[in-house]
Amino acid sequence: MLLVKQVSKVYEGKVAYRALTDIDLTIESGEFVGVMGPSGSGKTTLLNLIATIDEPTTGEITINGVNPHKLKKEQLAKFRRRELGFVFQDFNLLHTLTVEENIVLPMTLDGKSVKEMKQKAHDIAEKLGITGILNKRTYEISGGQAQRAAVARAMIHSPSLLLADEPTGNLDSKASGDVMEMLDAINRTERTTMMLVTHDPVSASYCHRVVFIRDGKFYSEIHRGSSRQAFFQKIIDTLSLLGGNGHDLSQVRV
């Protein structure tokens, strides 16, 4: 469903910087793929190109057969709203609003009635087990709850591809586990395709496959198989071969 073909990215500036070189990546529908690599290796750059936040310098990206970078502005806005969901490290919730208001925020652009939006928020909260916090404001909830609210918001339009950049980066191990369990459940029940950028080997071990990049280039990929514990170990091993500071072992939580 996602095809990244020979994608390179050069940031222009006083000194041009080549952040990605000839990246090829195919993600099948329903797959849950992790992207790891040292800091500065180009993970966020790759995610942003797929998210259409930025444009590749060369190469092509297609999502469900559509190259979003070729769409006109309005079509692109619609495409992003329908096909893509985003989750970031810092939750990006609006602080004056309740969790419920945050979750329905993307729907306010659809011209739906308040009743319809409330219903949808309750449905999704029920499914994701966060009904208890719907009426709370963002300062009244924990980081893990905030991130689960952000995931609910990202899922409101049932996107075909969910893109997450370090969603557990600000969370402790318990809250990280909660968020990863939630993503895993969504992937299994909704068949949502997922791409997760992370430094955390435990979070990455929830993926079906992890792709490693180094210095903007593909390095290797490993597949999960049946045991998450064994996969976790394989991830740690690959990270230590990879070098750099992509594997801050002080942060490892098993």
Minimum distance of ligand ATP from residue 196's CB (angstroms): 13
Residues 11-40 that bind ligand ATP (CB under 6 A): 11, 13, 17, 19, 37, 39-40
Residue with tokens 């409101």: 156
> In the set 43, 148, 214, 224, which binds ligand ATP (CB under 6 A)?
43
Residues 207-226 that bind ligand ATP (CB under 6 A): none
DSSP SS3 for 8? strand
Residue with tokens 């925020």: 105
- Token couple for 196: 């997760």
Residue 210 site contact among Mg ion, ligand ATP, none (CB < 5 to 8 Å, cut-off depends on kind): none
Closer CB to ligand ATP, 106 or 216, in the complex: 216
Minimum distance of Mg ion from residue 164's CB (angstroms): 11
Cα 65 to Cα 59: distance, rounded to the nearest angstrom: 15
Residues 33-62 that bind Mg ion (CB under 5 A): 44
Does the protein bind ligand ATP through residue 198 (CB under 6 A)?
no
Cα 59 to Cα 22: distance, rounded to the nearest angstrom: 8
DSSP SS3 for 16? coil
Q: Roughly how many angstroms between the first and final C-alpha of the chain, as a whole number?
A: 32
Closer CB to ligand ATP, 42 or 106, in the complex: 42
DSSP per-residue string spanning 165-207: ESTTTTS-HHHHHHHHHHHHHHHHHH--EEEEE-S-HHHHTTS
Q: Are 36 and 43 in contact (CB under 8 A)?
A: yes
> In the set 25, 27, 33, 44, which binds ligand ATP (CB under 6 A)?
44
Residue 40 site contact among Mg ion, ligand ATP, none (CB < 5 to 8 Å, cut-off depends on kind): ligand ATP
Kindly state the number of chain residues that form the binding site for ligand ATP, as judged by CB under 6 A.
12
Q: Are 27 and 193 in contact (CB under 8 A)?
A: yes
Minimum distance of ligand ATP from residue 169's CB (angstroms): 9
Closer CB to ligand ATP, 152 or 242, in the complex: 242
DSSP tag of 137 = B
Residues 162-181 that bind ligand ATP (CB under 6 A): none
> In the set 8, 21, 45, 147, which binds ligand ATP (CB under 6 A)?
45
Residue 34 site contact among Mg ion, ligand ATP, none (CB < 5 to 8 Å, cut-off depends on kind): none
Residue with tokens 């903007």: 216
Cα 212 to Cα 208: distance, rounded to the nearest angstrom: 13
Cα–Cα–Cα angle for 52, 54, 59, rounded to 5 degrees:
85
Binding site for ligand ATP (CB under 6 A): 11, 13, 17, 19, 37, 39-45
Q: Please report, as ranges, the residues that interact with Mg ion according to CB under 5 A.
A: 44
